[in-house]
Structure 1
Amino acid sequence: MMKYSEHEIKVVIGASYGDEGKGLMTDCFCRNALEQEKNCITVLHNGGAQRGHTVSVKNGIRHVFHHLSSGTFAHSDTYFADTFIINPMVFADEHSFLLPDTKIYCSPECRWSTPFDMMINQIAEDSRGENRHGSCGFGIWETIVRYDNSKTVSFHEFISMNVYEKTAYLKNIRDSYMPLRFQQLNIKQISDEWHEIIKNDSIIENFIADCEYFAANTIITDSSILEKYPFIVFEGAQGLLLSQDSGKNEKYTTPSFTGAENPVRMIKNLSGKINTEVCYITRSYLTRHGAGLFEDECPKNEINPDMIDMTNVPNNYQGTLRYGKLDIKKLLKRINDDFAAFRAVSNAEMSVAVTHLNETDGMIAAPDGYVS
């Protein structure tokens, strides 16, 4: 395998609660690579298909990326790192719709979600009523819990089984693990509608087909594949205030590291000269989709009553997008705290990108007023 003696690296990190414009910046960096005629790969390294990263291109196409990287329209290849949770059902839906002409690689260490993880997640959120956590309903946390609490097989092991073994494995999750997990969650009653969905064998049949589609359209390999690329983009999900190590409101955070930890670990393993730009993304105001602590929250009309968010629409699990003022001192502190980890990486530089300025007349909507 050819290795490059020099790698240009861009790391895209949400600076707050997510929804800042990480898809926009990832697409921008990948287009820079395209203009330089450099082969580019985008690394998805935290969370899973619950991400919703929007990219709009000049020909009028607009897409919210969930499982494929936001560099796909710019012909960037994709790597699912070992800390990324794959979801064959979401992947098959998105990939078959876009039919990208790019290579997609997957770490053999990736955990994988089943429809039953998603169902447990959604039933649990429904049972919490007004005390719901604000989950996206994609089963990310439930996938992690299942890996911790039961015997699992890797995706590669699963896809190597025959259809009878695959069916038996999934039925064991449905018939043995799900009832145990409902007991742990103190869920004593499930609606007839959910019972009917859970027991529908076509769920398993369709999911096996999705897994086979995933296997046919991805290449299993470790992170050494990154050595083949002179241009690498790390596309983070969510934001620093939702990281599992944020120390705030833990049940309302995401079960992954949203900042420096994963990219730094992977960058350290690369050979050759490394030039790294870490780009922290923020809107000109704050948003949060879901429940939990939200300092400096305010009514939307205090920022701009006429703005419309086409991506973060109201839904049953996260509710309506919340708005807040952006405290610049707090923003810079959490950015600097996170960037400290990149000092272990040679030639690392920091940048900050501010999006949605068109909605605030080119200024920051801060707690004490607008700042230019």
Structure 2
Amino acid sequence: MDHCKIATAVIGAAWGDEGKGLLTDAFSDSSTVVIRHNSGAQAGHTVQMDDGRRHVFHHFGSGTFRGAATYLSQFFVCNPLAFGYEKKALTDATDTTPTVYAHPDCLVTTPWDMMLNQMAEEARGSARHGSCGMGFNETIQRSRNPHLALTVGNIVDMASLDLCKYLDRIRNDYVPARLKELGITPSQAWSNRLASPGALSMFMDACANFLGTVLITRDAKDDVFTKSKKIVFEGAQGLLLDARRGTFPYVTNSRTGLTNIVSLAHTIGLETLQIIHATRAYATRHGAGPFLRESPELKYEDNTNLPNEWQGTLRFGELDIDLLTESIRLDYADQSLSELRIERCLAVTCLDQVGHSINYWDKDARKTTEHAEFLECLRERSGVQNIITSHGPTRSCVSL
């Protein structure tokens, strides 16, 4: 594929929050299309510019400040309400509306998926799963019934009246059945929100706004890529939250590693792919679930993952190289990569936050070394020689 000479995949190698936004920004320019190949609006990827601009990306690719286009693939779940808020914020920051393409098979999150998600987490009390409350998993659950699934293509094809009737069926028939399945009796406040006509009208407006912004394309080889010299696959969450790899139920209903990337690479016709598995210089987890090497006394500054009622406070720990390298090994082992030329890379972000030395675990032993020795240990244990590092929050702090 001559016009797409450079293709890079950015994958989180832990529980998310590894610096994927920073790395996507570092590899993007105005000739780039950023492909969102998993997850949905619950992703939060921070990009900070040297001129002071800062944005946490949810739908739009993290190369947007560089003029990159975004492609929401069929593996992405769209949330028109969240999309509208983000579009306004980015339009205000860039004075232009970013270019976004969407596959018609993208699933669509409704307000009732979000409400169900939040009610379910509330009902779990101290046994919460760590959900963001954005309705992603509930969207997947509802869409397992083909008569209740809602896609971008459905919204394009349906007249307003038909879409209203379809949404009424979700609200009036599906939601009560799902609540019964979950064993939840909604409070009066939740019942009022579920029945609110304002939620329906707001969502209808959001769908119209969404369709007025995105360009729908089924074939990934259409103009999305004919004008692009670079492709960046921007992953969301991390390998340890993968639906088939993480610790159930503290996972996401998404393939967070190479699976969807490889499928899309074959569809597009890519021959070469640079794969970057990313980690911070320390470990984090936002939300409930097992956390090897967690250290409650560790605290680092993080202005994106603020404490919230759904995920609580960001948790910190020391990096475990055994866990990191095994997760990456399994990600590669899942794939058939014989038709792609692969360049394997690692990325270590936030090195500026740990001081001159770094504490980490290797072969079940805790070690403290200088950065250079730590990076050499990573090379030896992973077999990957190319390590990208970041000593700050902006693109200029990244050493490629």
TM-score w.r.t. length of structure 1: 0.91
Alpha-carbon RMSD:
1.7
Aligned length: 357
Percentage identity across aligned positions?
Answer: 39
Q: Does 1:193 align with 2:185?
A: no
The AA in structure 1 aligned to 2:237 is Q
Letter in 2 for 1:258: T
Which residue of structure 2 lines up, in the alignment, with residue 215 of structure 1? 211
- How far is 1:210 from its partner? 0.3
Deviation, 1:153, is 4.3
The equivalent residue for 1:172 is 169
| Cα offsets for 1:322-351 (capped at 9, x unmatched) | 111111122122223323437334321111
Q: 1:264 and 1:347, CA in 2 relative to 1: closer, same or farther beyond 3 A?
A: same
Q: 1:147 aligns with which of 143, 146, 150?
A: 143
Is 1:64 matched with 2:56?
Answer: yes
Counterpart residue identity of residue 330, structure 1:
L
Opposite residue 131 of structure 1, the aligned amino acid is A
Question: Which digits, 9 at most, give the CA deviation of each residue in 1:248-287, with x for residues without a partner?
Answer: 4211011111001011111122336x33211111011110
Q: Which runs of no fewer than 5 residues in structure 2 stay unpaired?
A: 371-400
**Is the partner of 1:344 in helix, strand or coil?**
coil
Q: Conserved in 2, the CA contact under 8 Å of 1:4 and 1:227?
A: no
Correspondence 1:204 to 2:200: yes
Contact 2:104 2:217 in 1 (8 A): yes
Aligned position for 2:346: 352
Deviations 1:37-90 (A, max 9, x none): xx2100001110000000000110111111111110011100001110011111
SS for the counterpart of 2:5 is strand
Aligned mates of 2:357, 2:254 — CA distance in 1: 32
By how many angstroms is 1:193 displaced? 1.5
Between the aligned partners of 1:254 and 1:370, the Cα distance in structure 2 is 33
Q: Which residue of 1 is the match for residue 84 of structure 2?
A: 92
Q: Name the CA distance, whole Å, in 1 between partners of 2:8 and 2:113.
A: 33
Letter of the structure 2 residue corresponding to residue 354 of structure 1: V
> What is the CA-CA distance between 1:192 and the residue it aligns to?
1.6
2:395 maps to what in 1?
none
Residue identity opposite 1:266 in structure 2: L
Aligned positions of 1:96-111 closer than 5 A: 96-99=88-91, 100-111=96-107
- Report runs of 4+ in structure 1 exceeding 6 Å deviation: none
CA contact (8 A) 1:15 1:240 kept: yes
Query: Contact (CA 8 Å) 2:45, 2:58: kept in 1 or not?
Result: yes
Matched ranges for 1:164-313 at <5 A = 164-187=161-184, 189-222=185-218, 223-225=220-222, 226-228=224-226, 229-246=228-245, 248-271=246-269, 274-301=271-298, 305=299, 307-313=300-306
Q: Is the 8 A contact 2:108 2:150 kept in 1?
A: no
Looking at structure 2, the residues matched to 275 and 119 of structure 1 have their Cα atoms a distance apart, in angstroms, of 42
Does residue 51 of structure 2 align to residue 52 of structure 1?
no
* Partner amino acid, structure 2, of 1:97: A
Return the offset for 1:362. 4.4
CA contact (8 A) 1:5 1:271 kept: no
Cα distance in 2, alignment partners of residues 271 and 366 from structure 1: 40
Question: Which residue matches 1:41?
Answer: 33
Deviations 1:201-238 (A, max 9, x none): 01100110000000010011022235412210000000
Contact 1:42 1:232 survives alignment (8 Å):
yes
Report the secondary structure of 1:269's partner residue: helix
Question: What displacement does 1:361 show?
Answer: 1.2
| Alpha carbons 2:34, 2:68 under 8 Å: kept | yes
Secondary structure, counterpart of 1:17 in structure 2: coil
Q: Residue 158 of structure 2 is aligned with which of 150, 156, 161? A: 161
| Stretch moving more, 321-330 or 7-16 | 321-330
Which consecutive residues of structure 1, in runs of 5 or more, have no partner in the other structure? none
Q: Distance in 2 between matches of 1:290 and 1:86?
A: 22
Do the aligned partners of residues 362 and 210 (structure 1) sit closer, same or farther apart at CA in structure 2, a change above 3 Å counting? farther
Secondary structure of 2:268's match? coil
- 1:97 shift after superposition: 2.0
TM-score by length of 2: 0.85
Higher relative contact order (CA 8 A, sep 6+): 1
